[in-house]
Amino acid sequence: MTDSLIPSVSGLLDRPDPTNLDADEFEALLDSPEHNFRSLTRGDVIEGTIVRVDPDEVLVDIGLKSEGVVSGRELGAADEAKNLKVGETVLVSVLMPETPEGHAVLSIRRAKMEKSWRLAEQIMQDNEIIEAEVIDHNKGGLLVNVHGLRGFVPISQVLGLRRESGERGDSSEDELTQKLAEMMHRTLTLKIIELNRNRNRLILSERAAAQETRAKNKDILLEELQIGQVRKGRVSNLCSFGAFVDLGGADGLIHISQLSWGHLNHPNQVLHVGDEVDVYVLGVDPVKKKIALSLKRAQADPWDTIEERYQVGQIVQGTVTKITSFGAFARVEDGVEGLAHVSELSNRHITNPKEVVKEGEEHEFQVIHIDGKKRRLGLSLKALEDTTYSGYDEEGAQDGESRNYDAEADEEVTSEADLPGEHDGDEETPTGESADVPEARTEGTASESAQEGETQTGAEAS
Protein backbone atom coordinates (compact mmCIF):
# COMPACT_ATOMS: atom_id res chain seq x y z
CA MET A 1 0.00 0.00 0.00
CA THR A 2 1.41 3.37 -0.98
CA ASP A 3 1.62 6.26 1.51
CA SER A 4 -0.95 8.19 -0.48
CA LEU A 5 -3.53 5.49 0.13
CA ILE A 6 -3.00 5.35 3.93
CA PRO A 7 -5.72 7.37 5.62
CA SER A 8 -4.65 10.03 8.14
CA VAL A 9 -4.77 8.97 11.79
CA SER A 10 -6.60 12.13 12.83
CA GLY A 11 -9.21 11.42 10.18
CA LEU A 12 -9.72 7.89 11.48
CA LEU A 13 -10.22 9.07 15.04
CA ASP A 14 -12.62 11.78 13.93
CA ARG A 15 -15.04 9.31 12.39
CA PRO A 16 -18.46 8.89 14.05
CA ASP A 17 -17.50 5.28 14.87
CA PRO A 18 -13.70 4.99 14.91
CA THR A 19 -13.93 1.35 16.08
CA ASN A 20 -15.31 0.28 12.68
CA LEU A 21 -11.96 0.15 10.82
CA ASP A 22 -10.72 -2.17 8.09
CA ALA A 23 -7.38 -4.00 8.31
CA ASP A 24 -5.32 -1.32 6.53
CA GLU A 25 -6.80 1.46 8.62
CA PHE A 26 -6.21 -0.41 11.87
CA GLU A 27 -2.57 -1.11 10.87
CA ALA A 28 -2.03 2.57 10.13
CA LEU A 29 -3.40 3.50 13.53
CA LEU A 30 -1.10 1.03 15.30
CA ASP A 31 1.97 2.30 13.45
CA SER A 32 1.26 5.99 14.11
CA PRO A 33 3.26 7.90 16.84
CA GLU A 34 -0.10 8.99 18.29
CA HIS A 35 -0.73 5.39 19.31
CA ASN A 36 2.28 5.38 21.70
CA PHE A 37 0.81 6.02 25.15
CA ARG A 38 2.96 8.15 27.42
CA SER A 39 4.77 6.49 30.32
CA LEU A 40 4.24 8.27 33.66
CA THR A 41 6.30 8.36 36.83
CA ARG A 42 5.48 9.73 40.26
CA GLY A 43 6.07 13.49 40.45
CA ASP A 44 5.53 14.21 36.76
CA VAL A 45 3.68 17.45 36.09
CA ILE A 46 1.61 17.32 32.91
CA GLU A 47 -1.35 19.00 31.25
CA GLY A 48 -4.72 17.33 30.90
CA THR A 49 -8.29 18.08 29.93
CA ILE A 50 -11.20 17.76 32.37
CA VAL A 51 -13.75 15.28 30.99
CA ARG A 52 -16.05 14.93 34.02
CA VAL A 53 -16.70 16.87 37.22
CA ASP A 54 -18.33 15.11 40.20
CA PRO A 55 -18.89 16.54 43.68
CA ASP A 56 -15.99 14.60 45.16
CA GLU A 57 -13.70 13.93 42.19
CA VAL A 58 -12.68 15.07 38.73
CA LEU A 59 -11.66 12.89 35.75
CA VAL A 60 -8.84 14.26 33.62
CA ASP A 61 -7.79 12.99 30.18
CA ILE A 62 -3.98 12.87 30.17
CA GLY A 63 -3.58 10.74 27.03
CA LEU A 64 -3.64 7.31 28.72
CA LYS A 65 -5.95 4.41 28.00
CA SER A 66 -8.12 5.60 30.89
CA GLU A 67 -8.61 8.94 32.60
CA GLY A 68 -6.74 10.08 35.67
CA VAL A 69 -8.59 10.79 38.89
CA VAL A 70 -8.28 13.90 41.09
CA SER A 71 -10.19 13.64 44.36
CA GLY A 72 -10.51 15.09 47.84
CA ARG A 73 -7.99 17.70 49.01
CA GLU A 74 -5.95 17.19 45.84
CA LEU A 75 -8.52 19.30 44.01
CA GLY A 76 -7.10 22.35 45.75
CA ALA A 77 -8.90 25.11 47.61
CA ALA A 78 -12.68 24.68 47.86
CA ASP A 79 -13.44 27.89 45.99
CA GLU A 80 -11.09 26.89 43.17
CA ALA A 81 -12.51 23.34 42.95
CA LYS A 82 -16.03 24.72 42.47
CA ASN A 83 -14.90 26.61 39.37
CA LEU A 84 -13.54 23.55 37.52
CA LYS A 85 -15.42 22.89 34.26
CA VAL A 86 -15.51 20.13 31.63
CA GLY A 87 -13.20 20.92 28.73
CA GLU A 88 -10.90 23.07 30.85
CA THR A 89 -7.14 22.43 30.56
CA VAL A 90 -5.45 21.93 33.93
CA LEU A 91 -1.98 21.20 35.21
CA VAL A 92 -1.78 18.00 37.29
CA SER A 93 0.91 16.16 39.24
CA VAL A 94 1.15 12.36 39.11
CA LEU A 95 0.79 10.80 42.57
CA MET A 96 0.44 7.22 41.31
CA PRO A 97 1.01 6.23 37.63
CA GLU A 98 -1.64 3.46 37.74
CA THR A 99 -3.99 1.88 40.26
CA PRO A 100 -5.20 -1.74 40.06
CA GLU A 101 -8.29 -0.34 38.30
CA GLY A 102 -6.03 1.20 35.62
CA HIS A 103 -6.47 4.86 36.59
CA ALA A 104 -3.71 7.33 37.35
CA VAL A 105 -4.03 9.20 40.65
CA LEU A 106 -3.48 12.91 40.05
CA SER A 107 -3.34 16.15 42.04
CA ILE A 108 -4.17 19.66 40.91
CA ARG A 109 -3.05 21.10 44.26
CA ARG A 110 0.42 19.58 44.12
CA ALA A 111 0.84 20.56 40.49
CA LYS A 112 0.26 24.17 41.47
CA MET A 113 2.74 23.77 44.32
CA GLU A 114 5.31 22.28 41.96
CA LYS A 115 4.80 25.11 39.52
CA SER A 116 5.15 27.64 42.37
CA TRP A 117 8.37 26.06 43.65
CA ARG A 118 9.86 26.08 40.17
CA LEU A 119 8.89 29.73 39.80
CA ALA A 120 10.37 30.57 43.22
CA GLU A 121 13.63 28.82 42.27
CA GLN A 122 13.78 30.83 39.06
CA ILE A 123 13.11 34.07 40.94
CA MET A 124 15.91 33.33 43.39
CA GLN A 125 18.26 32.32 40.57
CA ASP A 126 17.52 35.55 38.69
CA ASN A 127 17.95 37.59 41.89
CA GLU A 128 14.58 39.23 41.37
CA ILE A 129 12.66 41.51 43.71
CA ILE A 130 9.00 40.48 44.15
CA GLU A 131 5.85 41.67 45.91
CA ALA A 132 3.88 39.43 48.27
CA GLU A 133 0.85 39.88 50.51
CA VAL A 134 1.03 39.30 54.26
CA ILE A 135 -1.44 36.50 55.07
CA ASP A 136 -0.55 35.74 58.70
CA HIS A 137 1.99 36.34 61.44
CA ASN A 138 3.52 34.63 64.46
CA LYS A 139 5.91 35.71 67.19
CA GLY A 140 8.87 35.21 64.87
CA GLY A 141 7.71 37.22 61.87
CA LEU A 142 5.32 37.45 58.94
CA LEU A 143 3.83 34.79 56.64
CA VAL A 144 3.41 35.85 53.01
CA ASN A 145 1.84 34.36 49.89
CA VAL A 146 4.47 33.79 47.19
CA HIS A 147 2.65 32.47 44.11
CA GLY A 148 0.69 30.03 46.29
CA LEU A 149 3.60 29.14 48.58
CA ARG A 150 3.77 30.21 52.23
CA GLY A 151 6.94 32.21 52.69
CA PHE A 152 8.34 33.48 55.98
CA VAL A 153 9.80 36.94 56.70
CA PRO A 154 11.64 36.99 60.07
CA ILE A 155 11.23 40.07 62.27
CA SER A 156 14.90 40.91 61.72
CA GLN A 157 14.21 41.17 57.97
CA VAL A 158 11.17 43.47 58.27
CA LEU A 159 11.94 47.16 57.92
CA GLY A 160 11.31 49.03 61.15
CA LEU A 161 10.69 45.89 63.22
CA ARG A 162 14.16 44.70 64.14
CA ARG A 163 14.17 43.38 67.71
CA GLU A 164 17.03 44.91 69.68
CA SER A 165 19.30 42.55 71.60
CA GLY A 166 18.13 42.09 75.18
CA GLU A 167 14.56 43.22 74.46
CA ARG A 168 12.55 40.33 75.87
CA GLY A 169 10.15 42.09 78.22
CA ASP A 170 6.40 41.59 78.04
CA SER A 171 5.80 45.19 76.94
CA SER A 172 8.26 44.98 74.05
CA GLU A 173 6.88 41.61 72.92
CA ASP A 174 3.32 42.89 73.04
CA GLU A 175 4.34 45.96 71.06
CA LEU A 176 6.00 43.80 68.40
CA THR A 177 2.95 41.53 68.16
CA GLN A 178 0.74 44.56 67.70
CA LYS A 179 2.95 45.92 64.92
CA LEU A 180 2.95 42.53 63.18
CA ALA A 181 -0.83 42.34 63.37
CA GLU A 182 -1.13 45.80 61.82
CA MET A 183 0.77 44.55 58.77
CA MET A 184 -1.86 41.95 57.84
CA HIS A 185 -2.87 42.12 54.14
CA ARG A 186 -0.15 44.64 53.43
CA THR A 187 1.89 44.07 50.25
CA LEU A 188 5.65 43.96 50.87
CA THR A 189 8.57 44.24 48.49
CA LEU A 190 10.75 41.21 49.18
CA LYS A 191 13.75 39.19 48.10
CA ILE A 192 14.12 35.41 48.50
CA ILE A 193 17.20 34.74 50.65
CA GLU A 194 16.74 31.00 51.35
CA LEU A 195 14.89 28.17 49.57
CA ASN A 196 14.84 24.49 50.55
CA ARG A 197 12.12 22.37 48.93
CA ASN A 198 12.94 19.25 50.94
CA ARG A 199 12.29 21.14 54.18
CA ASN A 200 9.46 23.18 52.69
CA ARG A 201 11.42 26.29 53.62
CA LEU A 202 11.08 29.66 51.87
CA ILE A 203 12.65 32.67 53.65
CA LEU A 204 12.33 36.23 52.37
CA SER A 205 13.69 39.63 53.39
CA GLU A 206 12.20 43.10 53.06
CA ARG A 207 15.46 44.61 54.27
CA ALA A 208 17.56 42.90 51.56
CA ALA A 209 15.07 43.97 48.89
CA ALA A 210 15.26 47.58 50.07
CA GLN A 211 19.06 47.53 50.10
CA GLU A 212 19.27 46.09 46.61
CA THR A 213 16.63 48.48 45.26
CA ARG A 214 18.45 51.37 46.87
CA ALA A 215 21.78 50.27 45.36
CA LYS A 216 20.24 50.15 41.89
CA ASN A 217 18.57 53.53 42.38
CA LYS A 218 21.86 54.98 43.60
CA ASP A 219 23.66 53.93 40.42
CA ILE A 220 20.91 55.53 38.34
CA LEU A 221 20.99 58.69 40.46
CA LEU A 222 24.78 59.00 40.21
CA GLU A 223 24.47 58.98 36.42
CA GLU A 224 21.74 61.62 36.48
CA LEU A 225 23.27 64.07 38.98
CA GLN A 226 25.14 67.06 37.62
CA ILE A 227 27.23 69.54 39.57
CA GLY A 228 25.27 72.74 40.02
CA GLN A 229 21.83 71.11 40.10
CA VAL A 230 19.38 71.93 42.88
CA ARG A 231 17.54 68.81 44.11
CA LYS A 232 14.85 68.12 46.68
CA GLY A 233 15.68 65.70 49.46
CA ARG A 234 14.82 64.57 52.98
CA VAL A 235 17.19 64.75 55.95
CA SER A 236 17.91 61.15 56.94
CA ASN A 237 20.58 61.58 59.62
CA LEU A 238 22.56 64.19 61.55
CA CYS A 239 26.08 63.89 62.94
CA SER A 240 28.71 66.25 64.31
CA PHE A 241 30.32 66.87 60.92
CA GLY A 242 27.19 67.34 58.80
CA ALA A 243 23.82 66.08 57.63
CA PHE A 244 22.86 63.22 55.30
CA VAL A 245 20.07 63.88 52.82
CA ASP A 246 18.12 61.19 50.96
CA LEU A 247 17.78 62.26 47.34
CA GLY A 248 15.38 59.44 46.49
CA GLY A 249 17.76 56.54 45.96
CA ALA A 250 21.01 57.67 47.57
CA ASP A 251 22.22 59.73 50.50
CA GLY A 252 24.38 62.78 49.97
CA LEU A 253 26.40 64.58 52.65
CA ILE A 254 26.08 68.24 53.53
CA HIS A 255 29.27 69.12 55.40
CA ILE A 256 28.64 71.38 58.39
CA SER A 257 30.45 74.19 56.57
CA GLN A 258 27.84 73.99 53.79
CA LEU A 259 24.78 74.15 56.02
CA SER A 260 24.63 77.87 56.61
CA TRP A 261 26.24 81.13 55.52
CA GLY A 262 26.90 81.70 59.20
CA HIS A 263 28.84 79.74 61.80
CA LEU A 264 27.28 76.59 63.31
CA ASN A 265 28.34 74.43 66.23
CA HIS A 266 26.11 71.51 65.22
CA PRO A 267 23.82 70.68 62.27
CA ASN A 268 20.78 70.45 64.56
CA GLN A 269 20.84 74.23 64.80
CA VAL A 270 19.32 74.42 61.31
CA LEU A 271 18.07 70.91 60.41
CA HIS A 272 16.15 68.01 61.90
CA VAL A 273 15.71 64.41 60.70
CA GLY A 274 12.75 64.27 58.32
CA ASP A 275 13.03 67.87 57.10
CA GLU A 276 12.37 68.38 53.38
CA VAL A 277 15.10 70.58 51.89
CA ASP A 278 16.43 71.92 48.60
CA VAL A 279 20.13 71.14 48.18
CA TYR A 280 22.80 72.19 45.70
CA VAL A 281 24.98 69.44 44.16
CA LEU A 282 28.63 70.27 44.90
CA GLY A 283 30.27 67.09 43.68
CA VAL A 284 29.61 63.53 42.48
CA ASP A 285 32.06 60.62 42.70
CA PRO A 286 30.67 57.65 40.71
CA VAL A 287 33.61 55.44 41.68
CA LYS A 288 33.33 55.91 45.44
CA LYS A 289 29.57 56.46 45.07
CA LYS A 290 29.62 59.63 47.16
CA ILE A 291 27.62 62.81 46.72
CA ALA A 292 28.58 66.19 48.18
CA LEU A 293 25.76 68.65 48.77
CA SER A 294 25.32 72.21 50.00
CA LEU A 295 22.32 73.73 51.74
CA LYS A 296 23.57 77.30 51.80
CA ARG A 297 24.30 77.42 48.07
CA ALA A 298 20.68 76.56 47.35
CA GLN A 299 19.76 79.71 49.26
CA ALA A 300 20.48 83.38 48.60
CA ASP A 301 23.86 84.57 49.89
CA PRO A 302 23.08 87.37 52.38
CA TRP A 303 26.37 89.05 51.49
CA ASP A 304 25.20 89.66 47.91
CA THR A 305 22.75 92.32 49.10
CA ILE A 306 24.50 93.43 52.31
CA GLU A 307 25.08 96.98 51.02
CA GLU A 308 21.38 97.33 50.25
CA ARG A 309 20.32 96.44 53.79
CA TYR A 310 22.99 98.24 55.83
CA GLN A 311 24.60 101.67 55.67
CA VAL A 312 27.65 103.15 57.39
CA GLY A 313 26.54 104.84 60.59
CA GLN A 314 23.56 102.52 61.09
CA ILE A 315 22.96 101.13 64.59
CA VAL A 316 22.49 97.32 64.61
CA GLN A 317 21.86 94.67 67.24
CA GLY A 318 24.48 91.92 67.34
CA THR A 319 25.28 88.79 69.36
CA VAL A 320 28.93 88.17 70.20
CA THR A 321 29.83 84.77 68.73
CA LYS A 322 33.61 84.62 69.04
CA ILE A 323 36.39 86.54 70.73
CA THR A 324 39.94 86.63 69.39
CA SER A 325 43.06 88.56 70.32
CA PHE A 326 42.32 91.19 67.67
CA GLY A 327 38.61 91.75 68.32
CA ALA A 328 35.13 90.30 68.70
CA PHE A 329 32.85 88.82 66.07
CA ALA A 330 29.14 89.56 66.30
CA ARG A 331 26.24 88.06 64.35
CA VAL A 332 23.85 90.73 63.09
CA GLU A 333 21.66 88.30 61.09
CA ASP A 334 21.77 84.68 59.95
CA GLY A 335 24.82 84.29 57.75
CA VAL A 336 26.27 87.72 58.44
CA GLU A 337 28.86 88.38 61.13
CA GLY A 338 30.87 91.53 61.57
CA LEU A 339 34.10 92.26 63.43
CA ALA A 340 34.49 94.87 66.10
CA HIS A 341 38.26 95.39 66.16
CA VAL A 342 39.84 95.61 69.61
CA SER A 343 40.46 99.30 68.98
CA GLU A 344 36.71 99.78 68.35
CA LEU A 345 35.50 98.18 71.56
CA SER A 346 36.17 100.95 74.07
CA ASN A 347 37.35 104.53 74.46
CA ARG A 348 39.88 103.36 77.00
CA HIS A 349 42.92 101.31 76.06
CA ILE A 350 42.36 97.56 76.41
CA THR A 351 44.63 94.62 75.66
CA ASN A 352 41.99 91.87 75.63
CA PRO A 353 38.48 92.15 74.11
CA LYS A 354 37.16 90.06 77.01
CA GLU A 355 37.58 93.14 79.19
CA VAL A 356 34.58 94.62 77.39
CA VAL A 357 32.48 91.82 75.85
CA LYS A 358 31.76 88.14 76.40
CA GLU A 359 30.54 85.43 74.03
CA GLY A 360 26.74 85.21 73.91
CA GLU A 361 26.19 88.82 74.94
CA GLU A 362 24.01 91.10 72.86
CA HIS A 363 25.18 94.64 72.13
CA GLU A 364 24.31 97.56 69.93
CA PHE A 365 27.01 98.32 67.37
CA GLN A 366 27.50 101.06 64.84
CA VAL A 367 28.31 100.02 61.29
CA ILE A 368 31.58 101.69 60.31
CA HIS A 369 32.52 99.81 57.12
CA ILE A 370 30.79 97.57 54.52
CA ASP A 371 32.42 95.56 51.73
CA GLY A 372 30.08 92.95 50.26
CA LYS A 373 32.60 91.60 47.75
CA LYS A 374 35.17 90.85 50.46
CA ARG A 375 32.39 89.77 52.86
CA ARG A 376 33.46 92.31 55.48
CA LEU A 377 31.38 94.27 57.93
CA GLY A 378 33.09 96.63 60.35
CA LEU A 379 31.40 97.26 63.71
CA SER A 380 32.17 99.63 66.59
CA LEU A 381 31.12 99.95 70.21
CA LYS A 382 33.37 102.93 70.77
CA ALA A 383 31.53 104.99 68.15
CA LEU A 384 28.39 104.84 70.30
CA GLU A 385 30.27 106.12 73.35
CA ASP A 386 32.53 108.74 71.83
CA THR A 387 30.91 111.88 70.39
CA THR A 388 34.32 112.88 68.97
CA TYR A 389 34.69 109.56 67.12
CA SER A 390 36.88 110.20 64.05
CA GLY A 391 35.47 107.40 61.93
CA TYR A 392 36.82 104.37 60.13
CA ASP A 393 40.53 104.32 59.25
CA GLU A 394 40.64 102.12 56.14
CA GLU A 395 44.44 102.12 55.79
CA GLY A 396 45.13 101.34 59.40
CA ALA A 397 42.53 98.68 59.99
CA GLN A 398 42.03 97.06 56.58
CA ASP A 399 43.65 93.73 57.43
CA GLY A 400 42.07 93.53 60.86
CA GLU A 401 38.69 94.52 59.46
CA SER A 402 35.59 92.47 60.09
CA ARG A 403 34.58 89.54 57.97
CA ASN A 404 32.34 86.57 58.14
CA TYR A 405 35.10 84.61 59.80
CA ASP A 406 34.20 81.11 58.62
CA ALA A 407 32.67 81.83 55.23
CA GLU A 408 35.77 82.08 53.05
CA ALA A 409 37.61 79.07 54.44
CA ASP A 410 34.58 76.84 54.87
CA GLU A 411 33.38 77.55 51.35
CA GLU A 412 36.42 75.75 50.01
CA VAL A 413 36.14 72.68 52.27
CA THR A 414 34.10 70.86 49.68
CA SER A 415 35.65 70.65 46.25
CA GLU A 416 34.95 68.29 43.40
CA ALA A 417 38.21 66.49 44.06
CA ASP A 418 37.66 66.14 47.82
CA LEU A 419 34.08 65.30 48.66
CA PRO A 420 32.98 65.60 52.28
CA GLY A 421 31.67 62.07 52.16
CA GLU A 422 35.26 60.82 52.12
CA HIS A 423 35.87 62.22 55.61
CA ASP A 424 33.09 60.43 57.46
CA GLY A 425 33.77 60.75 61.14
CA ASP A 426 36.00 63.82 60.85
CA GLU A 427 35.31 66.72 63.12
CA GLU A 428 34.36 70.14 61.88
CA THR A 429 36.92 71.81 59.65
CA PRO A 430 38.76 74.85 61.02
CA THR A 431 36.93 78.09 60.58
CA GLY A 432 38.25 80.94 58.53
CA GLU A 433 39.69 83.08 61.32
CA SER A 434 43.48 83.07 61.27
CA ALA A 435 46.13 84.01 63.76
CA ASP A 436 47.99 86.12 61.22
CA VAL A 437 45.34 88.85 61.11
CA PRO A 438 47.27 91.92 62.26
CA GLU A 439 46.03 93.83 65.22
CA ALA A 440 45.57 97.01 63.22
CA ARG A 441 44.22 99.96 65.13
CA THR A 442 42.13 102.87 64.00
CA GLU A 443 42.98 106.37 64.98
CA GLY A 444 42.02 107.07 68.55
CA THR A 445 41.66 110.29 70.50
CA ALA A 446 44.54 112.62 71.21
CA SER A 447 44.66 111.52 74.83
CA GLU A 448 44.97 107.88 73.80
CA SER A 449 47.85 108.71 71.46
CA ALA A 450 49.64 110.60 74.18
CA GLN A 451 49.03 107.76 76.61
CA GLU A 452 50.45 105.20 74.23
CA GLY A 453 53.46 107.41 73.60
CA GLU A 454 54.18 107.70 77.29
CA THR A 455 53.98 103.96 77.68
CA GLN A 456 56.38 103.44 74.80
CA THR A 457 58.86 105.95 76.15
CA GLY A 458 58.75 104.33 79.55
CA ALA A 459 59.48 100.98 78.07
CA GLU A 460 62.46 102.26 76.12
CA ALA A 461 63.90 103.96 79.18
CA SER A 462 63.66 100.86 81.27
436 located within any domain: no
Same domain, 307 and 398: yes
Q: β-pairing, 315-324 with 251-255? A: unpaired
438 located within any domain: no
Cβ-contact 94, 39 below 8 angstroms: no
Tell me which residue range forms the domain holding 26.
3-35
- Bigger pLDDT: 72 or 362? 362
Name the residue among 300, 265, 298, 269 with its Cα closest to residue 406: 265
What pLDDT was estimated at residue 462? 29
Same domain, 418 and 290: yes
Same domain, 316 and 399: yes
What whole-number distance in Å separates Cα of residue 186 and Cα of residue 158?
12
The H or E element containing residue 12 is helix 9-13
Same domain, 285 and 420: yes
Same domain, 248 and 263: yes
342 located within any domain: yes
Q: What would the pLDDT profile of 95-141 be if each residue is shown by its tens digit?
A: 888 888 888 899 888 888 888 998 999 999 999 999 999 999 998 99
Question: What does the radius of gyration of the chain's CA atoms come to, in whole angstroms?
Answer: 42
121 located within any domain: no
Whole-prediction pTM: 0.51
What pLDDT was estimated at residue 152? 96
422 located within any domain: yes
Same domain, 280 and 241: yes
Does residue 172 register a pLDDT over 50? Answer: yes
In total, how many domains does the chain have? 5
Same domain, 267 and 279: yes
Same domain, 80 and 13: no
Strand, helix or coil at 360?
coil
Same domain, 342 and 398: yes
Same domain, 264 and 186: no
Q: What would the pLDDT profile of 237-280 be if each residue is shown by its tens digit?
A: 999 999 999 998 789 999 999 998 877 889 998 999 999 999 99
Does residue 430 register a pLDDT over 50? Answer: no
Does residue 350 register a pLDDT over 50? Answer: yes
What whole-number distance in Å separates Cα of residue 134 and Cα of residue 186?
6
- Bigger pLDDT: 83 or 190? 190
Same domain, 158 and 95: no
Band of residue 236 on the pLDDT scale cut at 50, 70, 90: very high
86 located within any domain: yes
CATH number of domain containing 91? 2.40.50.140
Q: What would the pLDDT profile of 268-278 be if each residue is shown by its tens digit?
A: 989 999 999 99
449 located within any domain: no
**DSSP for 114-176, written as a single string:** HHHHHHHHHHHHTT--EEEEEEEEETTEEEEEETTEEEEEEGGGSTT-PPPTT--SHHHHHHH
Residue 309 φ then ψ, to 5°: -100, -20
- Bigger pLDDT: 327 or 79? 327
What whole-number distance in Å separates Cα of residue 250 and Cα of residue 100?
65
447 located within any domain: no
What whole-number distance in Å separates Cα of residue 253 and Cα of residue 271?
13
Does residue 8 register a pLDDT over 80? Answer: no
What whole-number distance in Å separates Cα of residue 402 and Cα of residue 440?
11
